[in-house]
């Protein structure tokens, strides 16, 4: 009888470990997707900066992809004479809202 109780307890621990691993994997997948979207937006704006066509995007932009929404805005940094971009990514994962914010500096050659 004792061996059955020990076996049942150890099976419960193993199932809990699998459950935790699946939750962490889902969260990691969400972070990787959000990171990919952020990298895409930074690259897009960097290409525009190199071509000298960034001025049209300085008002900001927003969009959605699957469960993820993104938004970026620009604000001039007078001291550095650059444009500071704030990128915000949001999504709902495991019944709670997730988000992270990133910043980068760009030049605006049209000024």
CATH assignment of the domain containing 38? 2.20.25.110
Residue 44 lies in a domain: yes
Residue 62's H or E segment, with its range, is strand 61-65
Q: Does residue 23 lie within any of the structural domains?
A: yes
pLDDT band for position 101 (cuts 50, 70, 90): very high
Predicted confidence (pLDDT) at residue 108 exceeds the cutoff of 70: no
Give the whole-angstrom CA distance, residue 83 versus residue 101.
16
Tally of domains in the chain: 1
Q: Containing domain of residue 59, as a range?
A: 2-106
Domain-located, residue 111: no
Instruction: Judge contact between 76 and 55, C-beta under 8 A.
Output: no
List, for residues 33-43, the tens digit of each pLDDT value.
Answer: 999 999 999 89
Q: What is the pLDDT of residues 65-86, one digit of tens each?
A: 889 999 999 888 888 888 889 9
For residues 55 and 108, the answer to whether their CB atoms sit within 8 Å is: yes
| pTM assigned to the model | 0.75
């Amino acid at each position: 009888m004792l061996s059955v109780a020990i076996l049942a307890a150890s099976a419960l621990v193993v199932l809990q470990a699998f459950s935790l691993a699946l939750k962490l994997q889902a969260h990691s997948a969400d972070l990787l997707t959000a990171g990919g979207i952020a990298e895409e937006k930074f690259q897009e704006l960097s290409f525009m900066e190199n071509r000298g066509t960034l001025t049209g995007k300085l008002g900001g932009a927003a969009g959605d992809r699957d469960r993820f929404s993104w938004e970026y805005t620009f604000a001039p940094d007078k001291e550095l004479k650059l444009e500071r971009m704030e990128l915000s990514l949001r999504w709902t994962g495991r019944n709670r809202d997730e988000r992270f914010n990133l910043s980068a500096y760009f030049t605006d050659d049209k000024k």
